Structure 1
C-alpha cells in the first residue's frame, strides 16, 4: 500500500508491475532492458550509438520477440518492436554501466533490425537511397560494417528487402 500511495503522489514511477523508479538516477537504456524482457536496444538508438546516423536518438527503441509492439505512452521514451524469433539471439553485445549490464545490437544487427521495419526494397538504388538519403547513414561508418555478418543475418529475417 505504501508503494501505491507513493506512486499516486509521483514519489516513485511505476515502470511495470513490481518495477519502480525513484528518480533520474538510472539511465534510460538500463531501464529499457528491464521494462520488457527479453529485449535489447536496437533500431535508431543503436544506430546512433554506433555512429551510423548523425541524429542523437531520444527514444529508447528495443527489439523483442514477444509478438507485439509495445509503446509505453506514459514514459514516451520506450518503444518495443517485434522482430523474428529466428534472428533474436544473434549479434547482441552485453554493455555495462557502473557494473550494470544492458543489451545492445551490434551495428550490423541494428541495420538489419531497422530495415525489417520499413517497406520492402527491391533494388540496390532504392536501398542506397533509404540508407544514405532518408536515414542519413554515415557512408564511412557503413563501409566499416562486417558484410559477412549482414549476409548471415539477412536470410533469418525472411523479408524481401534487397541487401
Structure 2
C-alpha cells in the first residue's frame, strides 16, 4: 500500500528514471513495473514512459507533459498551440511539438504525438515553461512563436501576397485574433528567423496588418 502511495505521489506522467525512486538501490524496478502494469496501476505509453491509473491521479493527466517526456528535447508548438489559442478553426487531434532532433511520430494509446525538426537557431527561443498547481510543468511555444514555427516548416514564400494567402486561406487563421497577437513579440521573433526573404516578407505583412 505504501508503494502505491509513493507511485501516486510521483504524478500521473512517469518515466523509468522517476520510478527508480520507489525501487531504491538494488530494487527490482523492471519486475515492479511489470507487476504494476499487470494490475492496471500503470499503463505504458511508449517504451520507458508510463501513466498512472485514473484513481491514483491527484490532478488530470497532462498530454503536454507527456509530449515533453516522450521525445526530447522538445516543446509543444505548431497547430496544437494555435488551435488551443483559437487562432485556427480546426480541432487538432495530434499533439505537435518542435525538436532540434529528427522528425518522429509516436502512435500511442493516448493519441498521436508528432515531433518536427527545427534547426537550433529557430528552436532556441520563443518558448516558456507552463505549470500545473503541483509544480509539474512542460515547455510550450508562445502563440507568436508557434505561428512562426508553422510558417517556417511550411515552405518558402515568393511574395508578401503568397505569405498572406498561406496564413489566411491555407491556414485559415482568424484575422481578428491574429491582430490580437503581440506585435512587438512577433517582430522580434521574426527578426531572429533565418532566411532574409522570409523575414522581409513577413515584416512587410505585419506592418501592413498592424497599421
Question: Smaller-chain TM-score range?
Answer: 0.7 to 0.9
Within 1, Cα distance between the matches of 2:36 and 2:105? 24
Distance change in 2, residues 1:142/1:15 (3 Å): same
Structure with bigger RCO (C-alpha 8 Å, 6+ apart): 1
1:106 lines up with 2:171 in the alignment: no
Q: Which of 39, 50, 64 pairs up with 1:20?
A: 50
CA distance in 2: counterparts of 1:33 and 1:107, whole angstroms: 18
Instruction: Give the aligned partner of residue 158 of structure 1.
Output: 194
Which structure 2 residue ranges, 5 or more long, are not aligned?
Answer: 1-30, 55-59, 203-211
Larger Rg, first or second structure (1 or 2)? 2
Structural mapping, 1:83-94, within 5 Å: 83-94=118-129
Contact 1:84 1:157 (C-alpha < 8 Å) held by counterparts: no
Deviations 1:51-85 (A, max 9, x none): 2112222111011112x001013454201111121
Deviation for aligned residue 1:116: 1.2
Structure 1 residues without counterparts, runs of 5 or longer: none
**Deviations along 1:20-40, whole A, 9 cap, x unmatched?**
223465221221112122211
Question: Which structure dedicates a bigger proportion of its chain to helix?
Answer: 2
2: CA distance between counterparts of 1:148 and 1:122?
24
Partner of residue 34 from structure 1, selected from 69, 72, 76: 69
Count residues in correspondence.
Answer: 161
CA RMSD between the two structures: 2.3
> 1:6 deviation in Å?
5.8
